[in-house]
Chain A
């Protein structure tokens, strides 16, 4: 084959692959099209709209009026928002404490159970409660706390502790604590399984080495298990932060933020302002503030909770 023919051949193959590449590009964009259309309509546009309208007075129907940072000033000076924020901090700290203790403990205990079958049953035991819809859980706890015929007060009566009876969710002094206690013993089946996955991925020989060195259980947990499941811990911490900062469903169902403002949170105030008074601009501003806090905490979490401790070596 002389040189020009060779070049021609190479030219043809490169042409062909270029055409092929263009076709595969088209397929790729086509595959991504529905996703992008949906995200543009229901995610990107609303997110930008929230930021823009947070600087306006807007009822969602007529043209918005630009009012600068007035909404933000209101968020940071309004006494109701202050109360809501302090409730939120308490709830967030509490949730972090729960997420980092109960499911980790349960996962460790299941992990330490010998016998595959028994492990299987325990795993199932903690997954089954997931079948109860969350709303039903709220309604059940509403009934547990009900002051006249509720389970908690009637249980206290039946063991002769009438003096301990309370109007659990109706007393501003204890409503927030009652709200926090809801869901006892706070085992989240999904979290347990995710932690368990992390524990099971730890190579056996590390444990054998630890056993030979005579490491005790507590030491092993802090020196081996915890560093090696940091990836899972990080994920659960982020999910807990996001969940608690934007959650107000429980309050909406159980207390409506009351009595007074004893259990309210910023999300609930946002919902009420937007839905009851059509204050979409103010609602957007609360959303932007919560978003900023969530983003900051997520970045801090990513930076300072290291998950790059990995077992290496063969």
Chain B
């Protein structure tokens, strides 16, 4: 009897421990999560305010909502947004195309110099952009690519494909050889095998890397600030920077501009967030 009581008391204390642990877990997660959201919530709230509301009701949602802030911001940053989309999509397409070709060749072909080429590409993972920043700028000057998107596409695609090749090569190499052998016996060309067998099997990995790449080149700031000085061609980051000076005291349109700058990534993530989460949690990304 005594033992039984002890056991149930023990059970109860285990239960209480678990409940305390649960409160701690969810409490911490929610606290951290909410804290990282506060700035963005404030950004949206402030984007709807006029000057009077900004002075008097800064912390709360206040009516009427001033949608015209968005119209004003859009007329300024709309073009930058389009520029960024064009720059980003071409970059991602280039990275995926050239990166896939190279990763596939390095993974599934045997040819002299394979190890050397692979090492030469991977060694670039160790070469930080800061080393090449100034000389690459001079290359762009000499090639006459200043104030043109080629001056962004070239270095973005060149740099973006390194990580892509690193991860996709090991992914392609892990696919079973039998699949490829049977296709080759059927007389399929390597290009056909790559597009019809290897790529469909690695869709989610390609998707994840594409999203990561888009995220990176969308956020590029220093390089386009150096290369693109024509307002017609600026991407959203650089455009927003000058917009920030222009609307320095008009907070409503200013924050509306920030929100607009986030829209493409919101659209992207609403389609690809599950894919992205799955790809990153698949465990392929580590050293």
Q: Do A and B come from one complex?
A: yes
Contact residues of A with B, CB < 8 Å? 21, 24-25, 27-29, 31-32, 34-36, 38-39, 41-47, 49-50, 53, 60-61, 102, 105-106, 109-110, 112-113, 122-137, 139-141, 143-144, 149, 151, 154, 158, 184-185, 187, 190, 193-194, 196-198, 200-201, 231-232, 234-235, 238, 242, 245-246, 248-249, 252-253, 267, 270-271, 274-275, 280, 283-284, 286-288, 290-291, 294-295, 298, 302, 307
List of B residues within 8 angstroms of A113 by Cβ: 25-26, 29
Interface stretch (choices B1-9, B63-71, B137-145, B196-204) = B137-145
List of B residues within 8 angstroms of A122 by Cβ: 29, 33
Question: From A137, which residue of chain B is reached at the shortest CB distance?
Answer: B39
Q: Would you give 25 A-B contacts (Cβ < 8 Å), ordered by A?
A: A35-B165, A39-B124, A42-B136, A42-B139, A43-B132, A45-B139, A46-B136, A109-B28, A125-B33, A129-B36, A133-B261, A134-B221, A135-B221, A135-B240, A139-B240, A143-B251, A144-B39, A154-B58, A185-B36, A187-B36, A193-B280, A231-B286, A235-B287, A267-B130, A294-B128
List of B residues within 8 angstroms of A110 by Cβ: 29
Nearest chain B CB to A278 CB, angstrom units: 10
**CB < 8 Å: which of A29, A53, A253 contacts B221?**
A253
Question: From A35, which residue of chain B is reached at the shortest CB distance?
Answer: B102
**CB < 8 Å: which of A42, A133, A196, A253 contacts B154?**
A42
If A31-B104, A124-B273 touch, does A50 touch B134 (CB 8 Å cutoff)?
yes
Nearest chain A CB to B179 CB, angstrom units: 17
**CB < 8 Å: which of B43, B109, B130 contacts A27?**
B109
List of A residues within 8 angstroms of B21 by Cβ: 112
**CB < 8 Å: which of B28, B98, B262, B273 contacts A133?**
B262
**CB < 8 Å: which of A60, A123, A129, A198 contacts B283?**
A198
Complex Cα spacing A246 to B128, Å:
7
**Cβ-based interface call for B237 (8 A):** yes
Residue pair A131, B266 in contact (C-beta under 8 Å): yes
Residue among B105, B112, B141, B162 having the largest count of chain A Cβ atoms under 10 Å = B105
Nearest chain B CB to A49 CB, angstrom units: 4
Closest CB pairs A-B (n = 5): A246-B130, A231-B286, A31-B105, A46-B135, A42-B158
Complex Cα spacing A295 to B130, Å:
13
If A32-B102, A139-B244 touch, does A133 touch B134 (CB 8 Å cutoff)?
no
Nearest chain A CB to B77 CB, angstrom units: 11
**Cβ-based interface call for B215 (8 A):** yes
Question: From A140, which residue of chain B is reached at the shortest CB distance?
Answer: B39
Interface string of B256-287 (1 = CB under 8 A from A): 00100110011011000100110011110111
Interface string of B221-247 (1 = CB under 8 A from A): 110011000000000110011001000
Nearest chain A CB to B35 CB, angstrom units: 5
Residue pair B158, A43 in contact (C-beta under 8 Å): yes
Residue pair B265, A133 in contact (C-beta under 8 Å): yes
List of A residues within 8 angstroms of B129 by Cβ: 246
If A27-B109, A43-B127, A131-B262 touch, does A287 touch B134 (CB 8 Å cutoff)?
yes
If A42-B136, A141-B39, A290-B131 touch, does A295 touch B221 (CB 8 Å cutoff)?
no
**Cβ-based interface call for B119 (8 A):** no
Residue pair B33, A291 in contact (C-beta under 8 Å): no
* 17 more CB-based (< 8 A) A-B contacts, given A47-B131, A291-B130, A294-B126: A21-B110, A34-B102, A39-B121, A41-B139, A42-B136, A45-B139, A130-B215, A131-B269, A133-B265, A134-B219, A149-B251, A234-B287, A235-B287, A283-B133, A286-B130, A288-B131, A291-B128
Residue pair B130, A106 in contact (C-beta under 8 Å): no
**CB < 8 Å: which of A136, A201, A253, A280 contacts B134?**
A280
B92-107 residues at the A interface, CB under 8 angstroms:
97-99, 101-102, 104-106
List of B residues within 8 angstroms of A134 by Cβ: 219, 221, 237
**CB < 8 Å: which of B126, B137, B277, B281 contacts A60?**
B137
B184-208 residues at the A interface, CB under 8 angstroms:
190-191
List of A residues within 8 angstroms of B33 by Cβ: 122, 125-126, 187
Complex Cα spacing A195 to B238, Å:
33
If A38-B161, A136-B258 touch, does A127 touch B276 (CB 8 Å cutoff)?
yes
Nearest chain A CB to B136 CB, angstrom units: 4
List of B residues within 8 angstroms of A196 by Cβ: 281
Question: From B189, which residue of chain A is reached at the shortest CB distance?
Answer: A27
Residue pair B269, A231 in contact (C-beta under 8 Å): no
**Cβ-based interface call for B155 (8 A):** yes
If A41-B158, A53-B135, A238-B287 touch, does A135 touch B130 (CB 8 Å cutoff)?
no
Residue pair B39, A46 in contact (C-beta under 8 Å): no
List of B residues within 8 angstroms of A184 by Cβ: 35
Complex Cα spacing A44 to B155, Å:
12
Nearest chain B CB to A146 CB, angstrom units: 10
Complex Cα spacing A133 to B157, Å:
20
Complex Cα spacing A197 to B127, Å:
27
Question: From B42, which residue of chain A is reached at the shortest CB distance?
Answer: A151
**Cβ-based interface call for B178 (8 A):** no
Question: From A52, which residue of chain B is reached at the shortest CB distance?
Answer: B135
List of A residues within 8 angstroms of B286 by Cβ: 194, 197-198, 231-232, 234-235, 307
Complex Cα spacing A287 to B71, Å:
43
Residue among B42, B128, B131, B276 having the largest count of chain A Cβ atoms under 10 Å = B131
Complex Cα spacing A144 to B33, Å:
18
Nearest chain A CB to B62 CB, angstrom units: 15
Residue pair B98, A34 in contact (C-beta under 8 Å): yes
